[in-house]
Amino acid sequence: MGMIPAELKYAKTHEWVRTEDDGTVTVGITDHAQHALGDIVYVDLPEVGDTLKAGQEAGVVESVKAASDIYAPISGEVIAVNDELADNPEMINNDPYTGGWIFKLKPLDVNELDDIQDSDVYKEWCESGDH
Amino acid sequence: MLKRTTLYEKHQASGAKLVDFSGWEMPIHYGSQLEEHDVVRKDVGMFDISHITSLDVTGKDARVFLRYLLANDVEKLTNVGQALYTGMLDETGGILDDLIVYRMQEDNTFYRLIVNCATRSKDCAWINQHSAQFAVQISEQANVSMLAIQGPNAREKLSQVMPKLAEKIEKLAYFHSFTDGDWMICATGYTGEDGFEVIIPDAEIEAYWDHLLASDVKPCGLGARDTLRLEAGMNLYGTDMDESINPYEANMAWTVALKPVDRNFVGRNALEGLIDADNRKLVGIILDAKAILRSHQQVFHDGKNVGEITSGSFSPTLQKSIGLARVNSFNGSCEVEIRGKRLPISIVKPPFVRKGKIVYQSLEI
């Protein structure tokens, strides 16, 4: 299962979402997801200024063995991306919840945050099958 | 229910992540595929390859039968214990499997074939069907495991672990083997490094594994095995070639023995018509951009689709993505399409890496 911090929210597609003090949200992939992917060697980031809908493809994380899409957990405008991942993609493996963040969104509708899972629900979701 | 090798519990004890590999529950890695790749390039690692099938061909006609069955010629095996890489073709020249054949006895009544795991039942049916008119018996070697010990320090480590055989191990030449009771030690591999593949009775494999582990030989999974073989420019059956592909389209012309001209083998007639044809070629690909080549991505020259990536991955040694592609001939530059973007690629002659060194050469096709 890996670490599932209680203060974050989680998409079924294994992104985590952290709401910052200024109302923006930071997105990355979970410890469970980075474990399943194995050594990450490349990250295709969204572009700052892109407007994404909830569930829309935002980028790609590639491990040695496979490519995996990253989706926007809620709708919003991309206001920052983690450029350090270009040279250090392994930060997602080593530090998925802090140094390995992927992009930040300015939400279009904060109510969409209510539609994604809390940590205990995500934990059950991971345990319930081969996700 | 997935099949398990005798070493299943040992893999669990070493922290393996196990996946379904052609019906076998096999280690993909034991923590980090990249570290395992590195350990084989720089030191020594071991792979459980017990899912691979070993078939013994015995009998009066063994040599004659294999000269008919295989595209390479077992007559090239001048020494007992020597090995030969070959395709097994159908009548159209399509590759049914690639395999290694060992000459086991001086009198040519015993050869051993090491065939792929995914093709096992197809191979057995094909071999049995074609053996009907020959005085041979085909039997799958039962109750054996197989371990690959690979890396620049493999020879030294194996000699330490098996002191009674050290002298033989130290001088064993590439693509040669020797037997010791029920054990068979082969100087072969799928990594581009010095190394050995050892056939061991199931009853002795766990103790041998523990012995190697205690001697600092690191367990490595099939993930690293794949990036190692790709860097070594070695084909993977089912990915880089299959029945729809002939040896000339798979960088395997060197494994086809058309001489002597009077040797009839399955697929020969078709190959004689194909040798001068405008065959597609299997080439090496290097991508400088930050993206990863994967099988089935399309290759373009001058806006036209000229081929397809067959294998692609990240190369830990080159620190960029490499692949194999099957392409038509063209002049000039080409591109690969990844998620809607066309990115420039270089065409090279594999291997990319041998014995820890980057060795590829540019190639005009």
ipTM at complex level: 0.84
Greater model confidence, B244 or B276 = B244
In this prediction, residues B281-310 reach a mean pLDDT of 97
CATH superfamily, region B280-362: Aminomethyltransferase beta-barrel domains (2.40.30.110)
Confidence of residue A130 (pLDDT cuts 50, 70, 90): low
**Predicted pLDDT at B94:** 98
The length of chain A in residues reads: 131
Whole-angstrom Cα distance, residue A33 to residue B233? 31
Say what the pLDDT of residue A128 is.
83
Q: What confidence tens digit (pLDDT) does each residue in B141-172 have?
A: 999 999 999 999 999 999 999 999 999 999 99
User: Is the confidence at residue B111, as pLDDT, over 90?
Assistant: yes
pLDDT value of residue B10 = 98
Using the Cβ of B317 and the Cβ atoms of chain A, whether some distance falls under 8 Å is answered with no
B311 touching A (Cβ < 8 Å): no
Judge if the upstream peptide bond of residue B201 is cis by omega within 30 degrees of 0.
Answer: no
Distance in angstroms (rounded) separating the CA atoms of residues B325 and B305: 12
What is the pLDDT, as a whole number, of residue B169?
98
Q: What is the mean pLDDT of residues B339-346?
A: 95
| B33: CB partners within 8 A, 6+ apart | A38, A39, A64, A65, B221, B223, B224, B227
Taking CB atoms and an 8 Å limit, are A39 and B313 in contact across chains?
no
Q: Using an 8 Å Cβ cutoff, are B227 and B236 in contact?
A: no
The pairing of beta strand B183-186 with beta strand B195-201:
antiparallel
> What pLDDT does residue A1 have?
64
Hey, is the C-beta of A44 within 8 angstroms of any chain B C-beta? Answer: yes
Q: Is the pLDDT of residue A81 over 80?
A: yes
Query: Are residues B45 and B233 in contact, defined by beta-carbon separation less than 8 angstroms?
Result: no
Is the model's pLDDT at B55 over the cut of 80? yes
Q: Hey, how many other C-beta atoms are within 10 angstroms of the C-beta on B180? A: 11
Q: Lowest mean pLDDT: which of A11-15, B245-249, B308-312, B329-333?
A: B329-333
Cα(first)–Cα(last) distance of chain A, in Å? 10
**Contact residues, chain B, for A42 at CB < 8 Å:** 290-292, 314, 321
Q: Which of B28, B34, B38 to mutate to test the interface with A (most CBs of A within 10 A)?
A: B34
Residue closest to B9 by CA, chosen among B294, B172, B219 = B219
Residue B291 contacts A where some CB pair is shorter than 8 Å: yes
Distance from C-alpha of B324 to C-alpha of B251, rounded to nearest angstrom: 10
Provide the pLDDT confidence category of residue A89 given band limits of 50, 70 and 90.
very high
The contacts of residue A34 (CB under 8 Å, 6+ apart) are A2, A40, A92, A93, A96, A100
Domain residue spans of chain B = 1-277, 280-362
pLDDT averaged over every residue in chain B: 97
Using CA coordinates, name the residue in chain A closest to B314: A64
Share of chain B above pLDDT 90, in %: 97
| Mutation target vs A (from B17, B26, B33; most A CBs, 10 A cutoff) | B33
Q: With cut-offs at 50, 70 and 90, classify the pLDDT of residue B364.
A: confident
Residue B99 has pLDDT above 80, yes or no: yes
| Tally of CB atoms within 10 A around B246 | 27
Other beta carbons within 10 Å of A49: 8
Which chain B residue is nearest to residue A38, measuring alpha carbons? B32
Q: Which of the four pLDDT bands, split at 50, 70 and 90, describes residue B200?
A: very high
Average pLDDT over residues B238-265: 97
pLDDT digits (tens, 9 = 90+) for A39-77: 999 999 999 999 999 999 999 999 998 899 999 999 999
The pLDDT, as a whole number, for residue B15 is: 96
Q: Mean per-residue pLDDT for A20-28?
A: 97
Look at residue B302 and tell me whether its pLDDT is greater than 70: yes
pLDDT at residue B336 above 80? yes
Determine how many CB atoms are found less than 10 A away from the CB of residue B51: 21
Q: Is A39 in Cβ contact with B32 (below 8 Å)?
A: yes
Angstroms from B102 CA to nearest CA on chain A: 33
Residues B1-277, CATH architecture: 2-Layer Sandwich (3.30)
Query: In this complex, is the C-beta atom of B294 within 8 Å of any C-beta atom belonging to chain A?
Result: yes
Quote the pLDDT of residue A2. 84
- H helices of chain B, in order, are 8-13, 33-42, 62-69, 120-131, 154-161, 166-171, 202-214, 222-231, 268-274
Rounded distance, CA B7 to CA B205, Å? 7
Domains of chain A: 9-110+118-123 (2.40.50.100)
The Cα–Cα gap between A30 and A52 comes to 20
CB contact at 8 A, A92 and A40: yes
Both tokens assigned to B33: 């595929």
